[in-house]
């Protein structure tokens, strides 16, 4: 069989690259229906976990990467490996104030999603589960290391439980020690981290092209990212999708601030609380009228399901 010519992947200084750290772009790169996407994801996860992995199934939360429908976008990617181990991987621009608790919560849900019911099953049939989080801004762990791998551990007696749940964090704001290394001395994960951090930076194009040449998985991801960036329609969709999420969050924050200002003007705590709730309700009503999903409204506004239901009696979930 004649082999197809190898595609050259080169980031030109004139290319305006979409940011792979935008969670929607991250998802689009690694869940695209293409061999490069699957290969890039396997290479990335193998670098993170420290052993060769084969991804068997990928489940990306809706909408699919070729959809312009922005409802209930979550962007995380769920994977199952050939040995049935589970992994959830996500890119987070601004970590939550309670990010460690959030990671524990979703790892627990992932681990407990395994079905071990039945007379031939036991707890020993549970497979390893990984929660992998790339954290772009605002360091979460108070040290200088960008990589952490957490498991249950007795700190006082320095003893590991040797369990099967793992939280792995990659903090892209803490790459100072990696920045000084030549590419040939970087680990596979170092290279991936540098790719995510600098891919859109024109001043780092020489570095990005060195990374692409040094790592096959990064080359695959780079080829997809270049395709998105050079396709005007696709680029516009990704930017619009990202802008929509940022604008929506900004509306909610502004509504809360306006509520606090009104409360201060009235000189009472009840006014502040009522103003905040009213402002957020107004945002929720606008989202309902736009056809947004209830779960997304609850997640972004902090309102309860009962509060959301009361805003529109005719709304159906």
Using the 8-state DSSP alphabet, how is residue 61 labeled?
Answer: P
| Structure tokens given for 13 | 């200084």
Decide if 91 contacts 64 (C-beta within 8 A). no
Q: What is the pLDDT of residue 297?
A: 76
**Strand stretches in 70-204, DSSP E:** 77-81, 86-92, 129-135, 147-150, 153-154, 159-160, 165-171
> Mind listing the pLDDT tens digit for each residue in 245-265?
666 666 666 666 665 555 555
Residue 313, SS3 per DSSP: coil
90 φψ region: left (φ > 0), alpha (ψ -120 to 50), beta (else): beta
Q: Are 80 and 57 in contact (CB under 8 A)?
A: yes
CB 204: neighbour CB atoms within 10 A? 17
Q: Which of 25-29, 278-282, 287-291 has the highest mean pLDDT?
A: 25-29
- List residues bridging with 79 in a β-sheet: 58, 87
Q: pLDDT tens for residues 177-222?
A: 999 999 999 999 999 999 999 999 999 999 999 999 999 999 999 9
Q: How far is CA 14 from the centre of its chain?
A: 28
Contact 23, 91 (CB under 8 A): yes
pTM: 0.75
Share of the chain above pLDDT 70, in %: 78
Mean pLDDT check: name the lowest of 148-152, 220-224, 225-229, 279-283.
279-283
CA distance 201 to 218: 16
Q: Where are the beta strands (DSSP E) in the chain?
A: 55-60, 77-81, 86-92, 129-135, 147-150, 153-154, 159-160, 165-171
| pLDDT one-digit tens code per residue, 218-234 | 999 999 999 988 887 77
Cα 85 from chain centroid (whole Å) = 20
State the pLDDT at residue 37: 93
Q: What is the pLDDT of residues 64-101, one digit of tens each?
A: 444 433 333 345 788 999 999 999 999 988 888 889 99
Domain ranges of the chain: 23-230, 236-311
């Amino acid at each position: 069989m004649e082999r197809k010519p190898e595609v050259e992947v080169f980031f030109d200084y004139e290319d305006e690259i979409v940011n792979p750290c935008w969670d929607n772009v991250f998802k689009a790169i690694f869940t695209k229906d293409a061999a490069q996407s699957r290969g890039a994801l396997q290479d990335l996860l193998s670098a993170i976990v420290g052993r060769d992995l084969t991804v068997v199934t990928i489940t990306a939360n809706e909408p699919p990467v070729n959809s312009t429908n922005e409802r209930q976008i979550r962007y995380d990617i769920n994977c199952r490996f050939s040995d049935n181990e589970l992994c959830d991987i996500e890119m987070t621009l601004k970590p939550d104030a309670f990010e460690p608790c959030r990671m524990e919560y979703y790892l627990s849900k992932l681990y407990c999603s395994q079905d071990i019911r039945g007379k031939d099953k036991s707890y020993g049939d549970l497979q390893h589960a990984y929660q992998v989080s790339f954290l772009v801004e605002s360091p979460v762990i108070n040290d200088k290391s960008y990589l952490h791998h957490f498991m249950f551990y007795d700190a006082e007696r320095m003893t590991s439980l040797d369990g099967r749940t793992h939280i792995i964090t990659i903090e892209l704001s803490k790459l100072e020690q990696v920045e000084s290394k030549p590419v040939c001395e970087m680990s596979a994960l170092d290279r991936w981290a540098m790719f995510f951090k600098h891919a859109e930076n024109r001043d780092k194009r020489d570095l990005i092209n060195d990374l692409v040449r040094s790592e096959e998985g990064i080359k695959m991801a780079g080829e997809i990212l270049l395709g998105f960036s050079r396709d005007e329609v696709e680029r516009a969709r990704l930017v619009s999708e990202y802008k929509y999420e940022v604008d929506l969050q900004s509306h909610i924050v502004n509504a809360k601030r306006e509520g606090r200002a009104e409360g201060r003007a009235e000189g009472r705590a009840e006014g502040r609380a009522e103003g905040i709730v009213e402002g957020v309700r107004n945002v929720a009503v606008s989202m309902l009228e736009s056809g947004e999903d209830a779960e997304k409204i609850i997640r972004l506004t902090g309102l309860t399901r009962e509060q959301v239901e009361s805003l529109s009696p005719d709304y159906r979930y």
